Amino acid sequence: MLPLVTKNLGFKVNGAILINDLSMTLDADGVSVVMGPNGAGKSVLLRLLHGLMEPTSGTIRWAGQAPDEWLRRRQAMMFQRPILLRRSVRANMDFALRQRARGNQREKIDALLGHVGLKDLAERPARRLSGGEQQRLALARALALEPEVLFMDEPAASLDPASTVTIETVVRELKESGTKVVFVTHDVAQARRIADDIVFLHRGRLLEQSDAVTFFEQPSSSEARQYLDGKIII
């Protein structure tokens, strides 16, 4: 499915430019981390790449192919606020698996829930879980789909340390197994831990795209420099 290539990508709503003339390429290997201050357009970019919204200008190509329903079914997305069904943890897993026409997979569900540390909570209502548990369920549910590309929109923002560790561990495992991870975070320390390359957004523009070492050692834009120094950039 990769590389992913965007050309002059733009997204406008009621005159507000949320993504502005964004051209970039994401390669098959490594974890790509999208960074930038709140409101930079990170979530909008992910939704465009996954095909949940149509760009208002420019193009997106997955190995030359425009996003469509079939490409989307080979990808998975974890939303910034997990969208969980009003059902038990297990039923949430089951619903996702059924969409891929795989029958009763009790063992697979148990294994995945065990993997993210939710085994004992399988029969609990999903929406009664803590924030960290909800994100881990969203992760297990995404893993169940065995996606080739996984979008993760700030999955570890304001989570308990254990959940953060689980999520980062899974990201590393996915990388080793050849799944492309596109990970949004505005936590610099987290980006340092998991990123292979960085996409730095500011006000809907791509300010920088480089490998992680270069980005953290010698950011080329002054915005990125200030951002890494922990300054507020406007």
Note the residues at the interface with ligand ADP (CB under 6 A): 13, 18, 36, 38-44
Query: 28 and 2 in contact (C-beta within 8 Å)?
Result: yes
- The residue within the footprint of another protein, chosen from 22, 76, 140, 224 (CB under 8 A), is 76
In whole angstroms, how close is the CB of 138 to another protein at the nearest point?
Answer: 9
Pick the closest to residue 46 from 76, 17, 70 (CA basis): 76
Q: Which residues contact 50 (CB under 8 A, 6 or more apart)?
A: 67, 72, 75, 77, 151
Residue among 97 and 156 whose Cβ is closer to ligand ADP:
156
In whole angstroms, how close is the CB of 105 to ligand ADP at the nearest point?
Answer: 33
In whole angstroms, how close is the CB of 127 to another protein at the nearest point?
Answer: 4
Residue among 200 and 215 whose Cβ is closer to ligand ADP:
200
Q: Of these partners, another protein, Mg ion, ligand ADP, none, which one is at the site of residue 25 (CB under 5 to 8 Å by kind)?
A: none
| Binding-site size, another protein (CB under 8 A) | 22
166 binds Mg ion (CB under 5 A): no
Q: Which residues contact 106 (CB under 8 A, 6 or more apart)?
A: none
Angle at 79 between CA 152 and CA 117, to 5 degrees: 70
Q: Which residues contact 16 (CB under 8 A, 6 or more apart)?
A: none
43 binds Mg ion (CB under 5 A): yes
SS3 content of the chain, % helix, strand, coil (to 5): 40, 25, 35
- The residue within the footprint of another protein, chosen from 28, 85, 157, 228 (CB under 8 A), is 85
d(CA 34, CA 56): 21
73 binds another protein (CB under 8 A): yes
52 binds another protein (CB under 8 A): yes
User: Which ranges of the chain would DSSP assign to H, the alpha helix?
Assistant: 42-50, 69-73, 89-98, 106-115, 131-144, 161-176, 188-194, 212-217, 222-228
Question: Which residues make up the interface to Mg ion (CB under 5 A)?
Answer: 42-43, 80
Question: Which residues make up the interface to another protein (CB under 8 A)?
Answer: 47, 50, 52, 69, 72-73, 75-77, 79, 83, 85-87, 95-96, 99, 125-128, 145
